[in-house]
């Protein structure tokens, strides 16, 4: 493994191996910002139907419940607020949640690559900007959830680096684990959360390894700077993946 991939510098021109069988089961991008105008629910729905005619569109409601004691007993009050729309593509692979202060887009398996996914996601981002007019973004996010089948004969140490093994000194191996690391990337404004989790799947008892990489920017960012920030976050997502997974090109190329 190249030592360069273990450095902390951000270089968006660096190329990473293209994985034909990438283990990504969900990729997510998010743009968040306070709207400059009020969201008019019904007109927005009509415009979404016109802009995305091949998507199934459903309302998103946030439900708030309050429990209070009264002279007659306990009363439960519920309040439902319409906060946005959920759009799902015909094949079910693209899911967008468009709310008054954020737009998040997911690409489910099969993952077809970053460029194509970002082009599709950018259409929803543009709708958010054009119709809700945020002056800036208050948060950006890039996330990649990977699922890797683990052969019973294969050691987890041969798949990922730094896998937790608290029972090693006892000569024991655990069948499941959950390990989360959260850091602020050096000399940058980006937060990085790396989750590695082993689980047993279904009745087959086969093991699967989940690698969840979540890159966030919590600083305010201008609309014009957002694409450059996203490029850096995508770089960090790749850097973390290829530094965590051993011989990724051989395993998934």
Percent of the chain with pLDDT over 70: 88
Residues 6+ apart with CB under 8 A from 186: 8
Closest CA to 99 of 145, 143, 58: 58
Task: State yes or no: pLDDT of 132 exceeds 80.
Answer: yes
Contacts 24+ apart (CB under 8 A), 14-18: 14/235, 16/238, 16/239, 16/242, 17/242, 17/248, 17/249, 17/253, 18/113, 18/253
H helices of the chain, where? 41-51, 114-132, 226-244, 248-252
List pLDDT tens digits, range 205-249: 678 999 999 999 999 999 999 999 999 999 999 999 999 999 999
Residue of 74 and 135 predicted with greater confidence: 135
Task: State yes or no: pLDDT of 128 exceeds 90.
Answer: yes
Phi (first) and psi of residue 209, to 5 degrees: -110, 125
Task: State yes or no: pLDDT of 193 exceeds 70.
Answer: yes
Closest CA to 252 of 27, 26, 19: 19
In 3-state terms, the chain is what percent helix, strand and coil (to 5)?
25, 40, 35
> Can you give the pLDDT at residue 206?
78
Task: Report residue 158's pLDDT band, with 50, 70 and 90 as the boundaries.
Answer: confident
Residue of 172 and 219 predicted with greater confidence: 219
Task: State yes or no: pLDDT of 180 exceeds 70.
Answer: yes
| Run of H or E including 13 | none
Alpha-carbon distances, residue 15 vs 12, 155, 195 (angstroms): 8, 29, 24
Helices (H) and strands (E) in the chain, counts: 4, 11
Q: What is the reported pTM?
A: 0.87
Task: Report residue 116's pLDDT band, with 50, 70 and 90 as the boundaries.
Answer: very high
List pLDDT tens digits, range 70-107: 556 556 556 667 789 999 999 999 999 999 999 999 99
Task: Report residue 63's pLDDT band, with 50, 70 and 90 as the boundaries.
Answer: low
Q: What is the DSSP string of 193-214?
A: EEEEEEEEETTTTEEEEEEEEE
List pLDDT tens digits, range 4-52: 456 889 999 999 998 999 999 999 999 999 999 987 777 889 889 999 9
Task: Report residue 69's pLDDT band, with 50, 70 and 90 as the boundaries.
Answer: low
Q: What distance in Å separates the CA atoms of residue 84 and residue 59, rounded to the nearest whole number?
A: 6
- Indicate the DSSP class of residue 240: H
């Amino acid at each position: 493994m190249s030592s360069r991939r273990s450095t902390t510098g951000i270089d968006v021109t660096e190329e990473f191996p293209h994985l034909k069988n990438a283990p990504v089961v969900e990729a997510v991008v998010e743009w968040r910002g306070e709207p400059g105008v009020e969201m008019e629910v019904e007109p927005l729905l009509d415009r979404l139907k016109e802009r995305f005619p091949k998507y199934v569109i459903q309302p998103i409601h946030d439900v708030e419940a309050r429990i209070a004691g009264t002279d007659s007993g306990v009363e439960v009050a519920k309040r439902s607020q319409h906060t946005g729309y959920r759009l799902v593509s015909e094949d079910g692979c693209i899911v967008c949640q468009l709310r008054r202060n954020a737009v998040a887009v997911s690409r489910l398996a099969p993952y077809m690559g970053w460029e194509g996914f970002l082009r599709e996601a950018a259409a929803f981002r543009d709708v958010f900007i054009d119709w809700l007019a945020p002056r800036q973004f208050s948060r950006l996010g890039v996330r990649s959830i990977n699922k890797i089948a683990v052969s019973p004969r294969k050691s987890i140490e041969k798949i990922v680096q730094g896998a937790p093994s608290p029972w090693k000194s006892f000569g024991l191996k655990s069948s499941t684990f959950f390990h989360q690391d959260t850091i602020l990337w050096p000399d940058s404004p980006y937060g990085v959360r790396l989750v590695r989790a082993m689980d047993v799947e279904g009745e087959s008892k086969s093991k699967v390894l989940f690698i969840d990489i979540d890159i966030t920017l919590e600083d305010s960012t201008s609309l014009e700077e957002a694409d450059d920030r996203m490029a850096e976050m995508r770089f960090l997502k790749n850097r973390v993946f290829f530094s965590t997974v051993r011989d990724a090109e051989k395993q998934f190329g």
